[in-house]
Amino acid sequence: MIAITKPVPESIDRCELTHLAREPIDLDRARAEHHGYERLLERLGCTVEQLPMEPDNPDSVFVEDTAIVLPEIAIVTRPGAESRRGEVASVAAVLRKYRSLAEITEPATIDGGDVLVIGKRIFVGISSRTDRDAVHQLKNIAAPFGYAIEPVPVDGCLHLKSAVTRCGERAVLLNDEWVDRRCFTRLEVIAVAEPQAANVLLIGDHVVVASAFPRTRQRLADRGFNVETIDAGELAKAEGALTCCSVLVD
Ligand code: CIR
C-alpha cells in the first residue's frame, strides 16, 4: 500500500473553515502530529510517498480531497473550494505512475472526503463541496467497472467522511445526526460515542482513531476491532481528520 501525503504548510492558519470557528494552529504541533501519522502508516505496512510542500495552498496537507483511487482507475477531483483547486496537479502527477487517470470536469465539484468506497459500492456525500453533476460524472467513469454509485445527503458537517467511515470489512462507524444510517444497507452500523469521532482510518485490519475520542475508541475495541490511537487535535482545528491526510493506493 502506498500512502501519498503532503507536509503541513506554514499557511495552514489560512485554511478553509466551514463548521468551525478559526483558532490559532500551533504549526510545530501540527507538524509533529503529521509526522506521527506518517510513521503510524509505515508501521501498519504503508510506503509513504511524501510530495513537496505547497506553501501557497493552505489546505494542501489534506490530500484526500484531490483524488479518488479505485483498483481499476484513479479519478482526479475538482475540489469544491476554489482555493483548493491548485492542489490536484501534483497528486495527479504521482498517481499517473500507478493508475490510468480520469477527471471530474467543470462546472462539477467534488472533494475526495465525500467519497466512501466499500467494495463495489461508492457512497458520495452531497455536501457544500460535492454536487450532483459530479455524482453523474463519477457514475460514467466508475459504472463500466461494475461500481454502483449511491448519493448520500450530508447535513451538519463538512464531508460524508466526517459523518461516516469504514471501520471493518463490512462495518461503518457513523454519526446519526449528520447522515442517515438507512443509506448503508447490508453493512453493520456502529454509532459514534462522540460527535466528531466518525472519521477513522482503516488500514488492513487496523482502525486508527484520534485520541480525542476515547469513548468511541473503547466502543470499537469492545466490538473486537484492532484499534490504534493517534493525536490529531491540531489538524482538527483546520477541519481535517484522519482519512484526509493521505491518498491510499493499494
Ligand atoms: C477544507 O475545508 O477543505 C479543509 N480545511 C479541511 C479538509 C478536510 N478534508 C477532508 O475531510 N477530507
Distance of CA 202 from the midpoint of ligand 1 (Å):
18
Sorting pLDDT into bands at 50, 70 and 90, what band is 23?
A: very high
Active site residue 206: no
Indicate the average pLDDT of the chain: 98
**pTM (2 decimals)?**
0.97
CA dist 60 → 31, 56, 172, 184 (Å): 13, 9, 27, 30
Atom of ligand 1 nearest to the CA of 241: 11
Residues 34-74 pLDDT 10s: 999 999 999 999 999 999 999 999 999 999 999 999 999 99
Which pLDDT score, from 0 to 100, does residue 220 have? 98
Overall average pLDDT of the 217-236 stretch: 97
The residue-averaged pLDDT of 204-230 equals: 98
- The confidence score (pLDDT) of residue 170 equals 96
Average the pLDDT over 102-110 and give the result: 98
User: Any catalytic annotation for residue 244?
Assistant: yes
pLDDT at 71: 98
Q: Which atom of ligand 1 lies closest to the CA of 238?
A: 5
Provide mean pLDDT across the span 94-121: 98
Geometric angle at alpha carbon 130, from 10 and 186, rounded to 5°: 115
Give the distance (Å) from ligand 1 centre to CA of residue 236.
Answer: 9
Give 27 Cα–ligand 1 centroid separation in angstroms.
17
- Report the share of the chain in percent with pLDDT over 70: 100
As for ligand 1, residues whose beta carbon falls within 6 Å of it are: 15-16, 18, 59, 62, 64-65, 81, 84, 113, 158-159, 161, 238-241, 244
Q: How confident is the model at residue 9 (pLDDT cuts 50, 70, 90)?
A: very high
Residue 67 confidence (pLDDT) = 98
* Tens digits of residue pLDDT in 146-167: 999 999 999 999 999 999 999 9
Section 83-96 average pLDDT: 98
